[in-house]
A and B are shown apart, each in its own frame.
Chain A
């Protein structure tokens, strides 16, 4: 530049205004960050990885000790078909299993229920009785591979099934590891596989926490999900804030049973989403880790540091993927995996590039798996903990995200707590309003999405995606097996066991021991669910209020 004065109009044209950037959580992003920004936002947490409040990671060595568990969401048709896919993934280096169930199972219906027509084995594996679990995990070493059950409304029943199956195969349940999603409060906000009304639903979660604390103390009975709340429209800060509000509700319910915080808090786990701005998500994970540690260690007074660990699966990213130009989703998946690795996730799962079209094909599953393996083997993501720690930008954002997460938790408190906010439908309405705003921004082009509203294809080339067909035969086989089971099991024993489930529920006691007996008698998911519905009733969705708020 010269010192020669230039006319004003010309200068204004030359200095284009700096583009204003505000991230989804509502934080304005500066063009450059310095040490001063870190200080002004609250400084750097000087603790090392493995030291409370765990900003940099819950373990001292993180992936240097052991890379994240790779756990693709899998399940379709029946137990036999799913067992084959499990073995395919294990043969390809997958280190955990994450089971998808069909909608009938998730909603507590048997495969022969009228509600299940057309749904048996469609979006996941069909399960009617313990027999299905015996087949699904046949030949899989449950000590070597941990199993995560993506089940919520029917979680108490399926946890009982998993424990009973392991026991039958000779495993010591007291040492058995594994996870159930079992986060029913988020099902009322997004995902929608609720069965009972809100209060008894939370009661059942407390039953599983209490039972596992006593009988299967290594098992993680709950994985609190910000994930689906984010998919439904929440910002990253809200995702974490609402998840913490939910986790606190389960914690309070477990404490009310007389459990000590250190008996169960270490077995609570979390599930978060990874689509969106990389730095915002990484800051979300770092901020979330230290906030949760403070909530449990300072707020609830836990003594064991591991009670305050934010153990998490970070994955999916489904909302970020597009039906347009589906191959782009392979690249998105790679960046999302990078986010999860930089964020310090214990477990990772990626949505597959074809998932907007179909149940993933084996090839798509393998690409997701290879994406994670590449990061470990070639790109250096497993070499040092928290690689972005100390970055002016990420440290400042971490501090600011923490404030935003606290704001989201305060909002829930102001609405009377998470159980009330969910029962009233106000949180659903808030999340849905944001989803609508985001859709409008996508349609107007204000929110840029590659292949959707910019860089769209001009030629008429059709995307090449192989579809996973729905296998009617799988459903027919499932119905035959169920019919045969009903005919050959001891039906008197089933009736007695179901009567016991009803009696325990009516008495307000923990239903898990009675469910264990019913499961072992080969009672069906539908029979056990109906026994509980007899006592608890069914949930009715508050759609009227949602309309009013919207």
Chain B
């Protein structure tokens, strides 16, 4: 098999310090055989978009538990589009109430994984959606 490994950037935007889930997802994606870049905490939207472009990733994943997901996802969406990364898979996880999930999908985040999601759901979602 010469199949290319899927490359994922997992980022913690904003000031939120909850990184237990993000680090668990990073480990799950690595175990699934993906290449994973984890940004660490407190990344600005600019830094995340720049890192995604530079590393040439297939997937941009955001983890936000502070409740600020809509404003952050909107700013990051604008920057990802500016960099021409609209064809990549954008996903977001965290403490996301039901009524916000559709808003995030409409912003272009095709995968929304609220608290309580299983890591294998995230892995198979990425496998299915990365071209």
Interface, chain A (partner B; CB < 8 A) = 103-104, 106-107, 109, 115-119, 122-123, 187, 190-193, 231-233, 322-324, 356-358, 432-433, 435-436, 439-440, 443, 452, 467, 470, 541, 543, 546-547, 550
Question: Which residue in A107, A122, A550 is a CB contact (below 8 Å) of B27?
Answer: A550
Q: What's the nearest-Cβ distance from chain A to residue B115, in Å?
A: 5
Docked CA distance A122–B70 (Å) = 13
Docked CA distance A356–B14 (Å) = 19
Interface of A (DSSP majority class)? loop
Question: Which residue in B30, B39, B42 is a CB contact (below 8 Å) of A107?
Answer: B42
Task: Give every chain A residue within 8 A of B68 (Cβ-Cβ).
Answer: 118-119, 122
Closest chain A residue to B68, Cβ basis: A118
Docked CA distance A550–B40 (Å) = 14
Given A122-B66, A322-B116, A436-B28, verify A232-B15 contact (CB < 8 Å): no
**B120 and A436 form a contact (CB under 8 A):** no
Stretch at the interface among B16-24, B52-60, B101-109: B16-24
**A470 and B67 form a contact (CB under 8 A):** yes
A/B interface sample: 9 pairs, CB < 8 A = A118-B14, A123-B66, A190-B19, A233-B20, A439-B28, A440-B119, A541-B41, A547-B36, A550-B30
Given A103-B66, A118-B68, A119-B14, verify A443-B24 contact (CB < 8 Å): no
Given A432-B23, A436-B23, A550-B30, verify A117-B39 contact (CB < 8 Å): no
Task: Give every chain A residue within 8 A of B18 (Cβ-Cβ).
Answer: 191-192
**A123 and B120 form a contact (CB under 8 A):** no
Given A435-B24, A546-B38, A550-B26, verify A193-B114 contact (CB < 8 Å): no
Tell whether B124 is near chain A: CB-to-CB under 8 Å: no
Given A357-B97, A432-B27, verify A191-B66 contact (CB < 8 Å): no
Chain B interface, number of residues (Cβ within 8 angstroms): 33
Q: What's the nearest-Cβ distance from chain B to residue A467, in Å?
A: 6
Task: Give every chain A residue within 8 A of B24 (Cβ-Cβ).
Answer: 432, 435-436, 439
**B95 and A356 form a contact (CB under 8 A):** yes
Closest chain A residue to B41, Cβ basis: A192
Docked CA distance A323–B95 (Å) = 10
**B17 and A323 form a contact (CB under 8 A):** no
Given A117-B71, A122-B66, verify A547-B38 contact (CB < 8 Å): yes
Docked CA distance A119–B44 (Å) = 13
Q: What's the nearest-Cβ distance from chain B to residue A214, in Å?
A: 32
Task: Give every chain B residue within 8 A of A443 (Cβ-Cβ).
Answer: 118-120
Task: Give every chain A residue within 8 A of B27 (Cβ-Cβ).
Answer: 432-433, 436, 550
Task: Give every chain B residue within 8 A of A122 (Cβ-Cβ).
Answer: 66-68
Docked CA distance A208–B102 (Å) = 47
